[in-house]
Structure 1
Amino acid sequence: MGESGIELSVIIATHNNLPTLQKALASWARFAADQPVELLVVEDGCTDGTREYLEGLIRDGWKGPPLRVLHENDAHELVCTNRGLAEARGSLALSWHDDMFILQPWFVPELLATFRAYPDVGLLALSRGLVFSPVDEPVRTWDDTVDWRRMRSTVGPAPLNWARLYEVDGVMRPWVVRRACVDRVGPLDPAFRPTEWDESDLCFRIREAGWRVATHGFERDGAYVHQLSTTYGRTPSARRQEIGFRNGSLFYQRWTDAIRRGHARRRKTWLRRATAVGWASTLRQVARFAAGRRDAP
């Protein structure tokens, strides 16, 4: 457990997205107010009243988990996340978007139980993970960086992926990392600024240090929902691809040899540490998923 009894530090970077941020914070207040959690909102040069709103929450008596507000000047996601990692008091840190909303009270307890039960897991993705494979062709374009032959998005093999965590190579946000991992290998590398590929680079460093990286589809389980449009709308598509190609090229320069060495290994699985309520919720989601497939044309 970290300082002041806090186990999980939730890092939320936000930029001019106030109505959505309000919903995100309300979901934490509703479902995690009684958990050993703190919220670190990194206000990133907002001009839409976000800073004043957050100051008002603290001044008027915020009813959710302990809330701290940090300020950056439009530094973007990587720098804001690193600021949160540096300020976090918990033994675990969660990189969370301001357009993600918790839907279930069992979500945080399961995350905490997972890291207590499995000390070899250094970082856990909460939506999907990435499995990398070697490809002899060079990386020349953005499309090459995300070629499915090189990088496959996964929640693990069905149907046991509803009940298990699955070892992967890299991840996409959101994810939870042990502070011990960050202390050992360092935070996100500023070479990937403003964002993209930084988290998979961190995963490879964590794996080299002896921990494993895992994923589980908590969003598919119904634990939270991600309103993707507000996250990806900040950076124009052409600029996003330019950044993605630059950072993807750097990632493959660093880690192609490691991908070649490790891609064929047998990947470990872990049983979920769900509560009875969490298992029941998941079974309902399984039923909905199966019904949806039957109804599909």
Structure 2
Amino acid sequence: MRFSLITLTYNKLPVTSRCLTAILRDTVCDAPWELIVVDNGSTDNSADWIEQHLIPYGAARNVTVRLLRNSENIGCSKARNQGIAAAIGEYLLFLDNDVTPRTRNWLQILLQEHLSDPTIAMVGPKMVYPLPNAPIQCAGVAISPQGRVCFRGRGSSNNDPTYTTPTDVQCLISACLLIPAHLIATHGGFDPVFHPVQFEDFDLCYRLREQGWRARYTPAAEMYHFESTTTQGTSAINNAAVVIRNGLTFKNRWQHMFATEAGPTDTECQWLKLPPLPPLADIPDPLPML
């Protein structure tokens, strides 16, 4: 097996069904791949839908879809680590349940970028909003010397020349992240201290980068991201408190690295307020493909 795609679900069936169906429908890949879905105790029939509809849909496309059910929400790190333990692919692709392809051969593009240099460990695509002209949602992550985080290119035009060439970055987001399985086996998966979500992906990036590996952004692959759908409105998560707590843990752990890197200033990391996305039902399905 070449690729194991690992995604988590916790309720939000409308976006889960739309996006995971699109992953199976719109991905073009000659190499064999599987989709592992870890359901974190959904109460809205998400797991039943995966079992009854997504698994047969994948089988019809020669893609094995496997469902792991948890009786409760154990958080992102532990659930992703469950998916890692079940995966049989040479490469692991972490994927949020609110992401769909804009580039059909996105898997092969990410792999090609990884193979372009033996020191590249992690590869992420250009994440774009599901809006006309596909403005950028995230072109990799930058961190100021003081530990402030920003998504490179957020809100910029899709063809902004700053984000049209492959680039080494400080971090990548786990909404769509390729890593060889052997590196996870050697260095470990996601740290459950970042419970239930937030900063576990940045921590993994820095853990690998501390060992000399590189994180690479490649704009040749584009993925639509229905930003924050996975956690938005989840009553069990006080998102602001989680961001503060886990952000401090990340900062204390990795300040010795990002304080010496040529990251942006705190001013450059100010979070750009953007209009909310339209309701899911008002966003075309399928979305335009490249």
Q: TM-score, normalised by structure 1?
A: 0.73
Deviation of the 1:131 alpha carbon: 2.3
1:42-81 to structure 2, matched below 5 A, reads 42-57=38-53, 58=55, 62-64=59-61, 65-72=63-70, 73-81=72-80
Q: Secondary structure at the match of 2:259?
A: helix
| Corresponding residue number in structure 2 for 1:91 | 90
Letter in 1 for 2:59: W
> Is residue 2:23 matched to residue 1:24?
no
| Corresponding residue number in structure 2 for 1:202 | 204
More displaced stretch, 114-123 vs 223-232: 223-232
| Corresponding residue number in structure 2 for 1:140 | none
Instruction: Considering fraction of residues, name the structure with more helix.
Output: 1
Q: Which runs of 4+ in 1 moved over 4 A?
A: 155-158
**How has the CA–CA distance of structure 1 residues 154 and 112 changed in structure 2, closer, same or farther, with 3 Å as cutoff?**
same
Q: Which protein has the larger Cα radius of gyration, Structure 1 or Structure 2?
A: 1
**How has the CA–CA distance of structure 1 residues 171 and 61 changed in structure 2, closer, same or farther, with 3 Å as cutoff?**
closer
Q: Figure out how many residues of one structure are paired with residues of the other and give that number.
A: 244
Please say if residues 8 and 79 of structure 2, whose CA atoms lie closer than 8 Å, have aligned partners that are also in contact: yes
Counterparts of 1:176 and 1:217, CA distance in 2: 14
Please say if residues 125 and 214 of structure 1, whose CA atoms lie closer than 8 Å, have aligned partners that are also in contact: yes
Match of 2:140 among 125, 129, 135: 129
More displaced stretch, 188-197 vs 24-33: 24-33
1:1-297 to structure 2, matched below 5 A, reads 6-32=1-27, 34-35=29-30, 36-57=32-53, 58=55, 62-64=59-61, 65-72=63-70, 73-126=72-125, 127=127, 128-135=139-146, 150-154=148-152, 159=161, 161-162=163-164, 164-174=165-175, 175-217=177-219, 223-228=222-227, 230-235=229-234, 239-263=238-262
Deviation of the 1:97 alpha carbon: 1.3
**How has the CA–CA distance of structure 1 residues 255 and 34 changed in structure 2, closer, same or farther, with 3 Å as cutoff?**
closer
Counterparts of 1:230 and 1:255, CA distance in 2: 28
Structural RMSD (CA): 2.8
The alignment-based identity, stated in percent, is 25
Counterparts of 1:226 and 1:61, CA distance in 2: 21
Q: Secondary structure at the match of 1:20?
A: helix
Deviation of the 1:158 alpha carbon: 5.5
Q: Secondary structure at the match of 2:250?
A: helix
Please say if residues 33 and 63 of structure 1, whose CA atoms lie closer than 8 Å, have aligned partners that are also in contact: no
Counterparts of 1:154 and 1:237, CA distance in 2: 29
Please say if residues 27 and 105 of structure 2, whose CA atoms lie closer than 8 Å, have aligned partners that are also in contact: no
Q: Secondary structure at the match of 1:74?
A: coil
Please say if residues 155 and 215 of structure 1, whose CA atoms lie closer than 8 Å, have aligned partners that are also in contact: no
Superposed CA deviations along residues 71-100 of structure 1, whole A, max 9, x for unmatched, are 122113222212112221112211111121
Q: TM-score, normalised by structure 2?
A: 0.75
Letter in 2 for 1:19: P
Counterparts of 1:84 and 1:44, CA distance in 2: 12
Counterparts of 1:41 and 1:192, CA distance in 2: 21
Question: Which residues of structure 2 form unaligned runs of 5+?
Answer: 128-138, 264-288
Superposed CA deviations along residues 146-196 of structure 1, whole A, max 9, x for unmatched, are xxxx3343259962631x221111222321112122122111111111111
